[in-house]
Amino acid sequence: MATFLLSIVLLIVGYMVYSKVVERIFGINDAKPTPAYTKGDGMDYVPMPWWKGSLIQLLNIAGLGPIFGAILGAFYGPVAFIWIVIGTLFAGAVHDYFSGMLSLRHNGEQYPTIVGRYLGKSVRFFIHIVSILLMILVAAAFTAGPAQLIAEITPISFMFALGLIFTYFLMAAVLPVNKIIGKVYPVFGAILIFMAVAVCGALLFSGHQIPNVTASNLHPDNLPLWPLMMVTISCGAISGFHATQSPIIARTIKKESEGRKVFYGAMVAEGIIALIWAAAAMTFFGGTGGLAAAHAAAGPAGVVNEISTSLLGTLGGILAILGVIILPITTGDTALRSSRMMLTELLGKGFSKIKGKKAVIFATIPVTVPAIFLATIDYTFLWRYVGWTNQLVATVMLWTAAMYLLKHQKVHWICGVPALFMTAVVSTYIFYAPEGFGMAYEPSLAIGLSLTSVVLAWYIKQIFAHRKEKQEHSVSSIAS
């Protein structure tokens, strides 16, 4: 239990200290008007209070991610606590802060466009396609589960439930951000926090002994901890999906100093939620073996329901239903909203002749149709591909932030080091995982680390190139 409590304290202290370091390195300017005012359109660019933006951001980036991902990550045992704390403070929250603040600095631009500014047009095109695919996969994966549960507990069929959810998705994607998202999502964000806090309190006073961290990998199937755990626990440590969501809130922020609370703060809150659910999952069922059996019998939704109802009674059951149905739906609709924005930027000239709501609808339909189709296929198949794609997007975002800092002669390693780590994760994972090349672990590790070495060489080359450019600029300035 001591490790669990210490982990929560470290996240809180880390937010209070390291977030200010990151903010100072970025360099805020509250005198500069934000896109919410300079590009106000009553649709996406709408000023909102920071606390409302924080709750919406938390709900957008979290949903069931830090719950289901943490439950699966708990299979590895309390070592998951270490990854959640370190990943959140030094990778995930830094990633979220820069994805939001760079969007804010560049007039609310979407993630792929920001990537193009600092990594080049070819990378921008590639990541545009990957990001839109990720959004479609997330919308599909976060829709299939709720629709299935609705079909199980009501007379409504799965396909009809799916139709209802996607009808709502279309409404949420085409209406102004302050109509549904701005009014309802802060309430759902509060429910997400309340649910986690209630489970944490009940767990601490239930008599269950939360295990402390050991060096052991306790996965029942003896799966390698690295890099699988870093992909399994994405939301709650670092997730590229967040880079696609941050621009939604970046377009509503009133001043730059609010970015630390909204972007870095929401990620830390998600890390705490992930810690709570990881602790509950590995404790409630008497260890990782019991957790694996419960998960095999009822899936992650069943695990959430059993923990919630057992610890919190009727209230827990209500919260579980709200969580498993509402939270993924709210993630799915913002995924479609951001994919609509990305598609509009990708095909900007093609949509230039279409104005107003028609443009929004025409940009939403092409990403909604494939999402509906994918929602009808196997959920586990979808989720496997979401995992690696998600972490690839996160890695590219960290490299983008590192190049931004390098270009502006700032402390770039705060993004470069986690970017290098995540490069090793995604490079090794794609060769080892069954949804990748399915190779043996040792050669996958060797190839992954070799690719990471190539990227490291590129990073060093960029550092020396910028130093040379700086020196030449200084010499020319003196000469003139």
Range of the structural domain that residue 92 is part of: 2-380
- % of the chain surpassing 70 pLDDT: 90
Q: Is residue 417 part of a domain?
A: no
Per-residue model confidence (pLDDT) at position 91: 97
Nearest-5° angle of CA 276, CA 277, CA 279? Answer: 65
Report the pLDDT value the prediction gives residue 474, as an integer from 0 to 100. 64
Q: Are the C-beta atoms of residues 242 and 92 closer than 8 Å to each other?
A: yes
Give the per-residue pLDDT at 397.
Answer: 96
Angle between helices 2-26 and 79-87 (to 10 degrees): 20
Q: What does the pLDDT read at residue 355?
A: 56
Task: Give the contacts of 180 (CB within 8 A, at least 6 positions apart).
Answer: 171, 172
Structural domain contains residue 432: no
For residue 356, pLDDT over 60 is answered with: no
Q: Write the pLDDT tens digit of every residue in 17-64.
A: 999 999 999 999 999 999 999 998 887 899 999 998 898 888 878 767
Is 467 part of a structural domain of the chain?
A: no
Residue 465 covered by a domain: no
Q: What is the pLDDT of residue 82?
A: 94
Q: Over 60: is that where the pLDDT of 351 sits?
A: no
How large is the average pLDDT for residues 75-82?
A: 92
- DSSP letter assigned to residue 34: P
pLDDT at 42: 81
Q: Report, as an integer, the average pLDDT of 383-387.
A: 74
| Domain count for the chain | 1
Identify whether 153 is part of a domain.
yes
- Looking at per-residue pLDDT, the higher value among 285 and 1 belongs to 285
Per the prediction, the chain carries an average pLDDT of 86
pLDDT top residue among 247 and 208? 247
Quick one: pLDDT band at residue 475, thresholds 50, 70, 90?
Answer: low
Q: What is the CATH number of the domain that holds 240?
A: 1.20.1740.10
CA distance 255 to 243: 19
Top-ranked range on mean pLDDT: pick from 46-55, 124-133, 291-300:
46-55
Q: pLDDT tens-digit profile of 255-278?
A: 999 999 999 999 999 999 999 999
Least confident of 61-70, 95-104, 459-468: 61-70
List CB contacts of 437: < 8 A, sequence separation 6 or more: 430, 431, 444
Q: Residue 350: is its pLDDT beyond 60?
A: no
pLDDT at 343 over 70: yes
Rounded distance, CA 78 to CA 76, Å? Answer: 7
324 or 220, greater pLDDT? 220
Q: Decide if pLDDT at 473 tops 70.
A: no
Contact at 8 Å (CB) between 53 and 242? no
pLDDT at 363: 66
Structure tokens at 71: 């439950």
Average pLDDT of 330-348? 75
**Which pLDDT tens digit goes with each residue over 162-207?**
888 888 877 776 677 666 667 777 877 787 788 888 888 888 888 7
Residue 12 inside a domain? The answer is yes
In a domain, 429, yes or no: no
The C-alpha atoms of residue 394 and residue 358 are separated, in whole angstroms, by 32
pLDDT(142) > 70 = yes
Look at 206 and 95; give whichever has higher pLDDT: 95
Instruction: Determine contact, residues 78/157, Cβ cutoff 8 Å.
Output: no
Any domain includes 477: no
